[in-house]
Structure 1
Amino acid sequence: MTTALVFGATGFIGAQLLRGLLDRPDTTRVIAVVRRPLTLSDPKLTVLIGDRETLPALAAQLVADEVFVALGTTRKQTPDEAAYYRIDHDYPVEAARIARHNGAQAVFLVSAVGADAASRSFYLRTKGETERDVIALGFPRTAIFRPSMLVGQRAEHRPLERLFIGLSHLLNPVLLGPADRFRGIDGGDVARAMIAAARSDAPGVQILHWREMTALLGR
Protein backbone atom coordinates (compact mmCIF):
# COMPACT_ATOMS: atom_id res chain seq x y z
CA MET A 1 0.00 0.00 0.00
CA THR A 2 1.41 3.33 -1.11
CA THR A 3 1.34 7.03 -0.29
CA ALA A 4 1.92 9.25 -3.33
CA LEU A 5 2.98 12.89 -3.33
CA VAL A 6 2.01 14.97 -6.39
CA PHE A 7 3.30 18.34 -7.55
CA GLY A 8 1.59 20.01 -10.50
CA ALA A 9 -1.78 18.38 -9.90
CA THR A 10 -3.70 21.18 -11.67
CA GLY A 11 -1.70 20.96 -14.90
CA PHE A 12 -2.48 19.13 -18.14
CA ILE A 13 -0.62 15.94 -17.16
CA GLY A 14 -0.84 16.42 -13.39
CA ALA A 15 -4.65 16.58 -13.22
CA GLN A 16 -4.94 13.26 -15.05
CA LEU A 17 -2.14 11.82 -12.96
CA LEU A 18 -3.94 12.79 -9.74
CA ARG A 19 -7.15 11.05 -10.80
CA GLY A 20 -5.23 7.95 -11.86
CA LEU A 21 -3.41 7.71 -8.55
CA LEU A 22 -6.64 8.11 -6.60
CA ASP A 23 -8.16 5.28 -8.66
CA ARG A 24 -5.14 3.02 -8.15
CA PRO A 25 -6.21 0.22 -5.74
CA ASP A 26 -2.90 0.07 -3.88
CA THR A 27 -2.83 3.82 -3.16
CA THR A 28 -3.89 4.54 0.41
CA ARG A 29 -3.21 8.29 0.33
CA VAL A 30 -2.41 10.99 -2.22
CA ILE A 31 -0.93 14.31 -1.10
CA ALA A 32 -1.31 17.09 -3.66
CA VAL A 33 0.59 20.35 -3.27
CA VAL A 34 -1.20 23.10 -5.18
CA ARG A 35 -1.39 26.89 -5.22
CA ARG A 36 -5.18 27.01 -4.79
CA PRO A 37 -7.87 24.63 -3.45
CA LEU A 38 -9.00 21.80 -5.73
CA THR A 39 -12.60 21.17 -6.73
CA LEU A 40 -11.85 17.45 -6.62
CA SER A 41 -12.50 15.63 -3.35
CA ASP A 42 -11.74 12.05 -2.41
CA PRO A 43 -11.30 10.18 0.90
CA LYS A 44 -7.71 9.36 -0.12
CA LEU A 45 -6.81 12.94 -1.03
CA THR A 46 -4.96 15.44 1.16
CA VAL A 47 -4.56 18.91 -0.36
CA LEU A 48 -1.77 21.21 0.82
CA ILE A 49 -1.71 24.82 -0.35
CA GLY A 50 1.80 25.94 -1.19
CA ASP A 51 4.38 26.92 -3.81
CA ARG A 52 8.15 27.14 -4.19
CA GLU A 53 8.50 29.84 -1.54
CA THR A 54 6.30 28.17 1.10
CA LEU A 55 7.51 24.62 0.46
CA PRO A 56 9.94 24.52 3.42
CA ALA A 57 7.07 25.24 5.81
CA LEU A 58 5.22 22.18 4.46
CA ALA A 59 8.25 19.88 4.61
CA ALA A 60 7.13 17.86 7.64
CA GLN A 61 3.88 16.95 5.84
CA LEU A 62 5.57 15.83 2.60
CA VAL A 63 6.03 12.21 3.66
CA ALA A 64 5.35 9.63 0.94
CA ASP A 65 6.67 6.50 -0.72
CA GLU A 66 6.57 7.97 -4.23
CA VAL A 67 6.80 11.54 -5.53
CA PHE A 68 5.37 12.58 -8.90
CA VAL A 69 6.54 15.91 -10.32
CA ALA A 70 4.61 17.40 -13.24
CA LEU A 71 5.49 21.06 -12.68
CA GLY A 72 6.15 23.56 -15.41
CA THR A 73 5.23 26.84 -17.02
CA THR A 74 5.41 28.43 -20.47
CA ARG A 75 7.34 31.42 -21.76
CA LYS A 76 4.00 33.11 -22.45
CA GLN A 77 2.92 32.72 -18.82
CA THR A 78 6.41 33.43 -17.43
CA PRO A 79 8.49 35.53 -19.86
CA ASP A 80 11.17 36.37 -17.28
CA GLU A 81 13.91 33.73 -17.48
CA ALA A 82 14.80 33.88 -13.79
CA ALA A 83 11.17 33.36 -12.76
CA TYR A 84 10.81 30.61 -15.35
CA TYR A 85 13.89 28.83 -13.97
CA ARG A 86 12.52 28.98 -10.43
CA ILE A 87 9.34 27.20 -11.56
CA ASP A 88 10.84 24.68 -13.98
CA HIS A 89 14.06 23.88 -12.10
CA ASP A 90 14.17 25.11 -8.51
CA TYR A 91 10.67 24.02 -7.53
CA PRO A 92 10.87 20.44 -8.89
CA VAL A 93 14.34 19.90 -7.43
CA GLU A 94 13.41 21.27 -4.01
CA ALA A 95 10.19 19.24 -3.96
CA ALA A 96 12.08 16.06 -4.79
CA ARG A 97 14.83 16.89 -2.27
CA ILE A 98 12.37 17.29 0.60
CA ALA A 99 10.51 14.10 -0.36
CA ARG A 100 13.78 12.16 -0.52
CA HIS A 101 14.86 13.54 2.86
CA ASN A 102 11.53 12.34 4.27
CA GLY A 103 12.08 8.82 2.99
CA ALA A 104 10.54 8.68 -0.49
CA GLN A 105 11.97 5.77 -2.48
CA ALA A 106 10.92 6.74 -6.02
CA VAL A 107 10.57 9.89 -8.09
CA PHE A 108 8.71 10.27 -11.40
CA LEU A 109 9.54 13.49 -13.25
CA VAL A 110 7.99 15.02 -16.37
CA SER A 111 10.70 16.59 -18.52
CA ALA A 112 10.89 17.08 -22.30
CA VAL A 113 12.39 15.41 -25.34
CA GLY A 114 15.85 16.84 -26.03
CA ALA A 115 16.53 17.83 -22.43
CA ASP A 116 20.25 18.48 -22.07
CA ALA A 117 22.09 20.43 -19.38
CA ALA A 118 24.63 21.48 -22.03
CA SER A 119 22.06 22.69 -24.57
CA ARG A 120 22.21 26.21 -26.01
CA SER A 121 18.42 26.33 -25.75
CA PHE A 122 17.32 27.87 -22.46
CA TYR A 123 14.27 25.58 -22.33
CA LEU A 124 16.15 22.35 -23.01
CA ARG A 125 19.04 23.37 -20.76
CA THR A 126 16.63 24.09 -17.89
CA LYS A 127 14.97 20.69 -18.34
CA GLY A 128 18.36 18.99 -18.53
CA GLU A 129 19.61 20.68 -15.37
CA THR A 130 16.42 19.69 -13.57
CA GLU A 131 16.91 16.06 -14.60
CA ARG A 132 20.57 16.15 -13.54
CA ASP A 133 19.82 17.61 -10.13
CA VAL A 134 16.90 15.26 -9.40
CA ILE A 135 19.04 12.24 -10.37
CA ALA A 136 21.78 13.51 -8.03
CA LEU A 137 19.39 13.20 -5.08
CA GLY A 138 19.96 9.45 -5.17
CA PHE A 139 16.46 7.99 -5.15
CA PRO A 140 16.54 4.17 -5.38
CA ARG A 141 14.17 4.60 -8.36
CA THR A 142 14.12 7.57 -10.72
CA ALA A 143 11.97 7.67 -13.87
CA ILE A 144 12.18 10.66 -16.20
CA PHE A 145 9.50 11.10 -18.84
CA ARG A 146 10.43 13.02 -21.97
CA PRO A 147 7.34 13.66 -24.10
CA SER A 148 7.51 15.70 -27.29
CA MET A 149 4.33 17.49 -28.41
CA LEU A 150 1.52 16.88 -25.92
CA VAL A 151 -1.85 16.24 -27.51
CA GLY A 152 -5.28 16.12 -25.92
CA GLN A 153 -7.95 18.55 -24.74
CA ARG A 154 -6.63 21.43 -22.65
CA ALA A 155 -8.76 23.83 -20.64
CA GLU A 156 -6.88 26.84 -22.01
CA HIS A 157 -6.99 28.03 -25.62
CA ARG A 158 -3.68 27.60 -27.47
CA PRO A 159 -4.28 28.13 -31.22
CA LEU A 160 -0.65 27.70 -32.30
CA GLU A 161 -0.33 24.52 -30.28
CA ARG A 162 -3.51 23.19 -31.90
CA LEU A 163 -1.83 23.65 -35.28
CA PHE A 164 1.19 21.64 -34.20
CA ILE A 165 -1.06 18.95 -32.73
CA GLY A 166 -2.76 18.65 -36.10
CA LEU A 167 0.62 18.31 -37.77
CA SER A 168 1.69 15.67 -35.25
CA HIS A 169 -1.11 13.37 -36.40
CA LEU A 170 0.35 13.57 -39.90
CA LEU A 171 3.99 13.25 -38.82
CA ASN A 172 3.71 10.48 -36.22
CA PRO A 173 3.49 7.62 -38.75
CA VAL A 174 6.68 8.74 -40.54
CA LEU A 175 8.74 9.28 -37.37
CA LEU A 176 10.38 5.87 -37.21
CA GLY A 177 13.32 4.32 -35.38
CA PRO A 178 15.21 6.79 -33.16
CA ALA A 179 13.02 9.61 -34.50
CA ASP A 180 9.93 8.13 -32.85
CA ARG A 181 10.85 9.99 -29.65
CA PHE A 182 9.54 13.12 -31.38
CA ARG A 183 6.05 11.67 -31.89
CA GLY A 184 3.18 13.53 -30.25
CA ILE A 185 1.66 11.81 -27.22
CA ASP A 186 -1.56 12.36 -25.31
CA GLY A 187 -1.07 14.00 -21.91
CA GLY A 188 -3.27 11.31 -20.37
CA ASP A 189 -0.98 8.63 -21.78
CA VAL A 190 2.01 10.29 -20.10
CA ALA A 191 0.11 10.25 -16.80
CA ARG A 192 -0.85 6.60 -17.26
CA ALA A 193 2.75 5.70 -18.17
CA MET A 194 3.97 7.33 -14.95
CA ILE A 195 1.58 5.22 -12.90
CA ALA A 196 2.55 2.09 -14.83
CA ALA A 197 6.23 2.83 -14.21
CA ALA A 198 5.51 3.14 -10.49
CA ARG A 199 4.05 -0.37 -10.57
CA SER A 200 7.02 -1.83 -12.46
CA ASP A 201 9.53 -1.48 -9.59
CA ALA A 202 12.41 -0.99 -12.06
CA PRO A 203 15.48 0.14 -10.03
CA GLY A 204 17.96 2.85 -10.91
CA VAL A 205 17.43 5.63 -13.43
CA GLN A 206 15.10 5.29 -16.42
CA ILE A 207 14.72 7.77 -19.27
CA LEU A 208 11.44 7.24 -21.10
CA HIS A 209 10.56 8.65 -24.52
CA TRP A 210 7.50 7.92 -26.68
CA ARG A 211 8.49 4.30 -27.34
CA GLU A 212 9.09 3.41 -23.71
CA MET A 213 5.97 5.20 -22.51
CA THR A 214 3.70 3.50 -25.01
CA ALA A 215 5.33 0.14 -24.19
CA LEU A 216 4.34 0.64 -20.56
CA LEU A 217 0.76 1.04 -21.77
CA GLY A 218 0.93 -2.24 -23.68
CA ARG A 219 0.90 -0.69 -27.15
Structure 2
Amino acid sequence: MKKTAIILGASGLTGNILLQKLIADNTYKSIKLFSRSKMEGLPSEVTQFIGDLLKLEQFKSDFTADEVYCCIGTTKAKTPDKEVYKQIDYGIPVAAAKLAKENNIPTFLVVSALGANAKSPVFYNKTKGEMERDVQKQNIKNTFIFRPSLIGGKREERRTLEKIGLAIFKVIQPLFIGKLKQYKITEPEDIAQAMINLANSTSHAEVIITSNDIKRITKNT
Protein backbone atom coordinates (compact mmCIF):
# COMPACT_ATOMS: atom_id res chain seq x y z
CA MET A 1 0.00 0.00 0.00
CA LYS A 2 1.46 3.35 -1.04
CA LYS A 3 2.09 5.99 1.59
CA THR A 4 1.57 9.68 2.27
CA ALA A 5 4.41 11.84 3.58
CA ILE A 6 4.43 15.29 5.17
CA ILE A 7 7.43 17.60 4.73
CA LEU A 8 8.12 20.75 6.71
CA GLY A 9 10.98 22.80 5.33
CA ALA A 10 10.76 21.62 1.70
CA SER A 11 12.13 24.92 0.40
CA GLY A 12 15.40 24.49 2.29
CA LEU A 13 18.48 22.66 1.03
CA THR A 14 17.92 19.27 2.69
CA GLY A 15 14.13 19.50 2.53
CA ASN A 16 14.10 20.17 -1.21
CA ILE A 17 16.41 17.23 -1.93
CA LEU A 18 14.15 15.08 0.23
CA LEU A 19 11.10 16.28 -1.70
CA GLN A 20 12.63 15.36 -5.06
CA LYS A 21 13.59 11.92 -3.76
CA LEU A 22 10.08 11.26 -2.47
CA ILE A 23 8.54 12.39 -5.76
CA ALA A 24 10.72 9.87 -7.58
CA ASP A 25 9.96 7.10 -5.07
CA ASN A 26 7.06 4.86 -6.09
CA THR A 27 6.45 4.02 -2.44
CA TYR A 28 4.65 7.35 -2.05
CA LYS A 29 1.30 8.25 -3.58
CA SER A 30 0.98 11.65 -1.94
CA ILE A 31 3.26 14.32 -0.47
CA LYS A 32 1.99 17.19 1.65
CA LEU A 33 4.04 20.35 2.08
CA PHE A 34 3.41 22.79 4.91
CA SER A 35 5.17 26.11 4.34
CA ARG A 36 4.95 29.90 4.35
CA SER A 37 5.09 30.30 0.57
CA LYS A 38 4.11 28.28 -2.48
CA MET A 39 6.66 26.33 -4.51
CA GLU A 40 6.14 26.31 -8.27
CA GLY A 41 6.46 23.50 -10.80
CA LEU A 42 5.58 20.57 -8.57
CA PRO A 43 3.72 17.45 -9.79
CA SER A 44 0.07 16.68 -8.99
CA GLU A 45 0.89 14.25 -6.17
CA VAL A 46 2.27 17.17 -4.13
CA THR A 47 -0.30 19.20 -2.18
CA GLN A 48 0.74 22.48 -0.60
CA PHE A 49 -0.69 24.03 2.56
CA ILE A 50 0.37 27.65 2.92
CA GLY A 51 0.30 29.55 6.17
CA ASP A 52 2.13 30.55 9.34
CA LEU A 53 4.05 27.53 10.60
CA LEU A 54 4.34 29.18 14.00
CA LYS A 55 0.61 28.48 14.22
CA LEU A 56 0.78 24.91 12.95
CA GLU A 57 -2.32 23.88 14.89
CA GLN A 58 -4.44 25.59 12.22
CA PHE A 59 -3.51 22.74 9.85
CA LYS A 60 -4.59 19.96 12.22
CA SER A 61 -7.32 18.50 9.99
CA ASP A 62 -4.94 18.29 7.02
CA PHE A 63 -1.96 17.10 9.04
CA THR A 64 -2.50 13.42 8.28
CA ALA A 65 0.03 11.02 6.77
CA ASP A 66 2.13 7.93 7.33
CA GLU A 67 5.31 9.90 8.02
CA VAL A 68 6.41 13.42 8.96
CA TYR A 69 9.76 14.71 7.75
CA CYS A 70 10.76 17.87 9.62
CA CYS A 71 13.65 19.73 7.99
CA ILE A 72 12.89 23.10 9.55
CA GLY A 73 15.87 25.16 10.64
CA THR A 74 17.29 28.66 10.57
CA THR A 75 20.69 30.15 11.36
CA LYS A 76 22.05 32.80 13.69
CA ALA A 77 22.86 34.97 10.65
CA LYS A 78 19.33 34.75 9.23
CA THR A 79 17.57 34.96 12.59
CA PRO A 80 19.69 36.92 15.09
CA ASP A 81 16.75 37.40 17.48
CA LYS A 82 17.03 34.47 19.91
CA GLU A 83 13.33 34.45 20.73
CA VAL A 84 12.35 34.15 17.06
CA TYR A 85 15.10 31.58 16.50
CA LYS A 86 13.66 29.40 19.27
CA GLN A 87 10.13 29.77 17.90
CA ILE A 88 11.40 28.29 14.63
CA ASP A 89 13.99 25.68 15.63
CA TYR A 90 12.21 24.51 18.76
CA GLY A 91 8.60 25.57 18.34
CA ILE A 92 7.81 24.23 14.87
CA PRO A 93 9.30 20.71 15.25
CA VAL A 94 7.70 20.23 18.67
CA ALA A 95 4.31 21.47 17.42
CA ALA A 96 4.62 19.11 14.44
CA ALA A 97 5.42 16.18 16.74
CA LYS A 98 2.40 16.97 18.90
CA LEU A 99 0.12 17.05 15.84
CA ALA A 100 1.63 13.81 14.59
CA LYS A 101 0.86 12.20 17.94
CA GLU A 102 -2.69 13.58 18.03
CA ASN A 103 -3.36 12.37 14.48
CA ASN A 104 -1.80 8.94 15.05
CA ILE A 105 1.05 9.36 12.58
CA PRO A 106 3.45 6.53 13.49
CA THR A 107 6.73 7.91 12.09
CA PHE A 108 8.41 11.25 12.82
CA LEU A 109 11.84 12.23 11.50
CA VAL A 110 13.54 15.52 12.35
CA VAL A 111 16.86 17.17 11.53
CA SER A 112 18.66 18.48 14.62
CA ALA A 113 22.39 19.22 14.89
CA LEU A 114 25.64 17.86 16.23
CA GLY A 115 26.14 19.12 19.76
CA ALA A 116 22.44 19.28 20.66
CA ASN A 117 22.14 19.20 24.44
CA ALA A 118 19.27 20.52 26.54
CA LYS A 119 21.72 21.28 29.37
CA SER A 120 24.28 23.11 27.22
CA PRO A 121 25.26 26.66 28.20
CA VAL A 122 25.36 27.48 24.48
CA PHE A 123 21.96 28.83 23.41
CA TYR A 124 21.87 27.18 19.99
CA ASN A 125 22.93 23.74 21.24
CA LYS A 126 20.51 24.06 24.15
CA THR A 127 17.63 24.96 21.81
CA LYS A 128 18.24 21.90 19.64
CA GLY A 129 18.56 19.71 22.72
CA GLU A 130 15.29 20.98 24.17
CA MET A 131 13.62 20.34 20.83
CA GLU A 132 14.89 16.76 20.79
CA ARG A 133 13.76 16.20 24.37
CA ASP A 134 10.23 17.47 23.79
CA VAL A 135 9.84 15.66 20.46
CA GLN A 136 10.72 12.42 22.24
CA LYS A 137 8.18 13.20 24.97
CA GLN A 138 5.43 12.67 22.41
CA ASN A 139 6.30 8.95 22.35
CA ILE A 140 5.66 8.56 18.63
CA LYS A 141 6.25 4.92 17.74
CA ASN A 142 9.03 5.52 15.18
CA THR A 143 10.99 8.64 16.12
CA PHE A 144 14.30 9.42 14.42
CA ILE A 145 16.42 12.46 15.28
CA PHE A 146 19.28 13.29 12.93
CA ARG A 147 22.37 15.09 14.21
CA PRO A 148 24.46 16.07 11.19
CA SER A 149 27.70 17.99 11.42
CA LEU A 150 28.18 21.05 9.19
CA ILE A 151 25.89 20.46 6.19
CA GLY A 152 27.51 20.74 2.77
CA GLY A 153 25.85 21.52 -0.56
CA LYS A 154 25.07 24.71 -2.46
CA ARG A 155 22.49 27.14 -1.15
CA GLU A 156 20.64 29.85 -3.04
CA GLU A 157 21.24 32.48 -0.38
CA ARG A 158 24.73 33.78 0.23
CA ARG A 159 26.28 32.80 3.56
CA THR A 160 29.83 34.11 3.42
CA LEU A 161 31.04 32.78 6.77
CA GLU A 162 29.43 29.40 6.14
CA LYS A 163 31.13 29.15 2.73
CA ILE A 164 34.48 29.92 4.33
CA GLY A 165 33.82 27.32 7.02
CA LEU A 166 32.89 24.67 4.46
CA ALA A 167 36.02 25.43 2.42
CA ILE A 168 38.23 25.02 5.48
CA PHE A 169 36.46 21.84 6.55
CA LYS A 170 36.94 20.29 3.12
CA VAL A 171 40.68 20.91 3.32
CA ILE A 172 41.15 19.47 6.81
CA GLN A 173 38.68 16.56 6.60
CA PRO A 174 41.40 13.95 5.95
CA LEU A 175 42.64 14.72 9.47
CA PHE A 176 39.31 13.73 11.00
CA ILE A 177 39.86 10.19 12.22
CA GLY A 178 38.61 8.25 15.22
CA LYS A 179 36.23 10.31 17.34
CA LEU A 180 36.78 13.31 15.06
CA LYS A 181 34.94 11.57 12.20
CA GLN A 182 31.66 12.93 13.51
CA TYR A 183 32.79 16.44 12.56
CA LYS A 184 33.18 15.66 8.87
CA ILE A 185 30.87 17.56 6.51
CA THR A 186 27.47 15.88 6.15
CA GLU A 187 26.02 16.05 2.65
CA PRO A 188 22.32 16.99 2.42
CA GLU A 189 21.73 14.16 -0.07
CA ASP A 190 22.90 11.70 2.58
CA ILE A 191 20.60 13.17 5.23
CA ALA A 192 17.60 12.98 2.90
CA GLN A 193 18.32 9.40 1.83
CA ALA A 194 18.98 8.24 5.38
CA MET A 195 15.66 9.72 6.46
CA ILE A 196 13.80 7.86 3.71
CA ASN A 197 15.62 4.62 4.45
CA LEU A 198 14.74 4.76 8.14
CA ALA A 199 11.13 5.72 7.44
CA ASN A 200 10.85 2.53 5.42
CA SER A 201 12.81 0.36 7.85
CA THR A 202 11.29 -2.06 10.32
CA SER A 203 14.46 -3.00 12.17
CA HIS A 204 16.23 0.19 13.27
CA ALA A 205 15.91 0.81 17.02
CA GLU A 206 18.10 3.91 17.48
CA VAL A 207 16.34 7.22 18.01
CA ILE A 208 19.40 9.48 17.76
CA ILE A 209 21.14 9.20 14.40
CA THR A 210 24.64 10.67 14.63
CA SER A 211 26.59 12.19 11.77
CA ASN A 212 28.72 9.03 11.67
CA ASP A 213 25.63 6.87 11.16
CA ILE A 214 23.97 8.97 8.47
CA LYS A 215 26.37 7.85 5.73
CA ARG A 216 26.09 4.21 6.79
CA ILE A 217 22.30 4.28 6.79
CA THR A 218 22.30 5.96 3.39
CA LYS A 219 23.90 2.84 1.92
CA ASN A 220 21.19 0.58 3.34
CA THR A 221 18.80 0.96 0.44
Q: Report the TM-score when normalising by structure 2.
A: 0.94
Q: Deviations over 1:154-188 (max 9, x none)?
A: 11111211111111212222212222111101112
The match for 2:157 is 156
CA distance in 2, matches of 1:155, 1:213: 24
Q: CA RMSD in A?
A: 1.4
Measure, in 1, the Cα distance between the counterparts of 2:206 and 2:66: 17
Q: Does the C-alpha gap of structure 1 residues 154 and 53 become closer, same or farther in structure 2, counting only changes over 3 Å?
A: closer
Shift of residue 58, structure 1, vs aligned partner:
1.0
Deviates more, 1:29-38 or 1:70-79: 70-79
Give the alignment's TM-score, normalised by structure 1.
0.95
CA contact 1:171–1:183 (8 Å) conserved in 2: no
Percent same amino acid at aligned positions?
33
Instruction: For residue 14 of structure 1, give the secondary structure of its aligned residue in structure 2.
Output: helix
Instruction: Give the equivalent residue in structure 2 for 1:84.
Output: 85
Partner of 2:120: 119
Shift of 1:204: 4.7
Q: Which residue of 2 aligns with 1:130?
A: 131
Residue 11 (1) aligns with residue 12 (2): yes
Deviations 1:63-99 (A, max 9, x none): 0111010111112221111111100101110011112
2:24 matches 1:23: yes
Q: Which residue identity is paired with 1:170?
A: V
Q: Distance in 2 between matches of 1:151 and 1:113?
A: 14
Q: Paired residue for 1:184?
A: 185
> For residue 93 of structure 1, what is the amino acid of its counterpart?
V
Q: How many residues align?
A: 219
Superposed CA offset, 1:22-65 (max 9, x none)? 11111111100010111131121110002234322211000011
Q: Does 1:139 align with 2:140?
A: yes
Take 1:144 and 1:3, find their aligned partners in 2: how far apart are those partners?
20
* Unaligned stretches of 5+ residues in structure 2: none
Provide the C-alpha distance between the structure 1 equivalents of 2:205 and 2:6, rounded to a whole number of angstroms. 20
Deviation, structure 1 residue 210: 2.3
The Cα of 1:205 is off from its aligned counterpart by 4.4
Q: Distance in 2 between matches of 1:145 and 1:40?
A: 29
User: Residue in 1 aligned with 2:49?
Assistant: 48
Q: 5+ unaligned residues in a row in structure 1: which ranges?
A: none
Look up the equivalent residue of 2:15 and give its one-letter code. G
